[in-house]
Amino acid sequence: MAADVADEQDGHLLHNLLLFGRLLRRLGLDVHVGRMLDAVAVIDDIGLARKRDFHAALRTLLVHRQDELALFDEAFEVFWRQPKNPKTTMDLRSMGEQRRFRQPQVGPPPPGMSSDGEREAREGSDDDLDRIDLTRTFSAREVLRKKNFADYSLDEFAHARAMMGELSWDLGRRRTRRWGRGNGQSLDLRRVLRNNMRFGGELVELPRRRRKTKPRRLVLICDVSGSMERYSRMLLHFMHTLYGELDNQVEVFLFATRLTRVTGQVENRDIDHAISEVSKAVPDWSGGTRIGDILKVFNHRWARRILRSGSVVLVISDGWDRGEPDILSKEMARLQRSSHRLIWLNPLAGAEDYEPLTRGMQAAAPYIDDLLPVHNLASLEDLARRLNTLSASRPAMTQQGAAAKVEAAQDKVTTVDKPSKHRNANPTFRHPRWGKGA
């Protein structure tokens, strides 16, 4: 196998090793110079006779992220191949290219997703009609602050962004287990001793300590399908203006038909780009989203890694769910349990007579701590105020009332909302402005 390389002199081996390191770096792996030197140091020791040993040694030295192991293996196979192998260095370059231009994805879609996507695509044509009606019902009125994002012109968007920058922000803080100076309950014994040494050990001063606090981590799960795109966009711009004050404690996920983590892109101010990428990747979003499945992916793949230490989770969606209500309730329940506060933002909730009547909202309602609107700037300001005053514990009502609400909701879901084959046959979505005149 690798004996072809071993046939050459040591100099060649070293040369090849360095080339390999450079290649890995070009593929985007974070290869540390120190580990490269380590590899050079042990290469004679490990040797090439056993290719698998050589592979394992380089792998443990040069890779330090689990998600890069597969790429490393691929590169290793190609680079340390036998010369007669028809693959060329061009293959390596194309590997790198593919990687660089690959869509940012949050893993493979959950099982059954692809077939559903097809089905949705076929049914899409019916839903387009609804979509147009819905968009039309939003009409221009009142001042910019009260104006629905749906009606913004480009100028108004720019103006609104400037207005966002003026808000002050302090996300609810959580207490950590670290101690710092302050007027807490317990004595800071270290400083008691230190400070009082100058009084000959007589305890004159009694400095105290208190637990340090940190801003709560904020997790945004944003629906960017259909008309939700503009609301999510505004919310993300809003969040971005406050990024520094949040201590970078923000995680952002976008979904239309699949969940995509865009935290990195948002940090780089690429919000608009990220949103268009995600919407572009969706062939036809007018079929509605399967929020339950999306949350399931989040719960399974991300929740345990991201929702530590009492995060505040914001889901922004109109609740127009095409999936099974049971799945949505189940996943919402789990999400609520693993978060400090679960807030659902619904642009339609801004209307006075809004009632969560969509099947999706009904299924989710029992597990939502706060249901808030996000249709205009005023509502975003309200949201900021709400987060500012977030209490240290979840209001008892939402926990105790949950069980009762679940039963009530389940009754409703099963009796009122039998899943119908054709959504229009059983219109469960009622727009708040319908029948109110323009």
Partner 1 sequence: MTQTTTPSAQTAIDTLQKTLQDQLYVADRSLAISIYLALKLKRPLFLEGEAGVGKTEVAKVLASALDTELIRLQCYEGLDVNQAVYEWNYSRQLLEIRLLEASGQIDKDRAEKELFSEEFLIKRPLLQALEASGDTPPVLLIDELDRADEEFEGFLLEMLSDFQITIPELGTYKAENPPIVIITSNRTREIHDALKRRCLYYWIDYPDFQKEMQIVTSKVPGASKSLAEQVTAFVQELRGAELFKVPGVAETLDWTAALVGLDQTELDPSVIDDTLGIMLKYREDVQSVRGEQTRALLNRAMNRGTRRGGRRG
Contact between 25 and partner 1 (CB under 8 A)? Answer: no
Nearest to residue 222, comparing CAs of 256, 193, 194? Answer: 256
Chosen residue from 44, 73, 128, 407 binding partner 1 by CB under 8 A: 44
Q: Residues binding partner 1: what is the number (CB under 8 A)?
A: 55
Stated length of the chain? 438
Extract the tokens encoding 355: 């009632």
- The stretch near partner 1 (CB under 8 A) out of 86-94, 146-154, 304-312, 344-352 is 304-312
CA distance 253 to 303: 12
Contact between 22 and partner 1 (CB under 8 A)? Answer: no
Extract the tokens encoding 151: 């009606």
Chosen residue from 10, 73, 133, 411 binding partner 1 by CB under 8 A: 10
Residues 145-204 touching partner 1, rule: CB under 8 A, are 176-179, 189-190, 192-193, 197-198, 200-201, 203
- The stretch near partner 1 (CB under 8 A) out of 49-57, 346-354, 381-389, 402-410 is 49-57
User: To the nearest whole angstrom, how small is the minimum distance from the Cβ of residue 367 to partner 1?
Assistant: 14
**In 322-349, which positions are buried (b, 16+ CB within 10 angstroms) versus exposed (e)?**
bbebebbbbbbbbbbebbbbbbbbbbbb
- The stretch near partner 1 (CB under 8 A) out of 2-10, 14-22, 82-90, 130-138 is 2-10
Dihedral angle at the C-alpha atoms of 296, 302, 304, 309, nearest 10 degrees?
-110
Contact between 24 and partner 1 (CB under 8 A)? Answer: no
385's CB contacts (< 8 A; 6+ apart) are: none
User: To the nearest whole angstrom, how small is the minimum distance from the Cβ of residue 45 to partner 1?
Assistant: 4
Contact 258, 296 (CB under 8 A): no
Contact 243, 276 (CB under 8 A): no
Chosen residue from 85, 105, 186, 309 binding partner 1 by CB under 8 A: 309
Contact between 122 and partner 1 (CB under 8 A)? Answer: no
Contact between 392 and partner 1 (CB under 8 A)? Answer: no
- The stretch near partner 1 (CB under 8 A) out of 31-39, 80-88, 274-282, 394-402 is 31-39
Cα angle 263-300-374, degrees, rounded to a multiple of 5: 50
- Give the 3-state DSSP-derived string for 275-299, with helices as H, strands as E and coil as C: HHHHHHHCCCHHHCECHHHHHHHHH
For residue 204, the number of C-alpha atoms closer than 13 Å in the C-beta half-sphere is: 9
Contact 255, 224 (CB under 8 A): yes
Terminal alpha carbon distance of the chain? 76
Site string for partner 1, 68-97 (x = CB under 8 A): -x----------------------------
Contact between 46 and partner 1 (CB under 8 A)? Answer: yes
Residues 313-372 touching partner 1, rule: CB under 8 A, are 330, 334
User: To the nearest whole angstrom, how small is the minimum distance from the Cβ of residue 49 to partner 1?
Assistant: 4
Per CB under 8 A, residues contacting partner 1 are 3, 6-7, 10, 13, 30, 32, 34-35, 38, 41-42, 44-50, 52-53, 55-57, 59-61, 63-66, 69, 111, 176-179, 189-190, 192-193, 197-198, 200-201, 203, 299-300, 304-306, 308-309, 330, 334
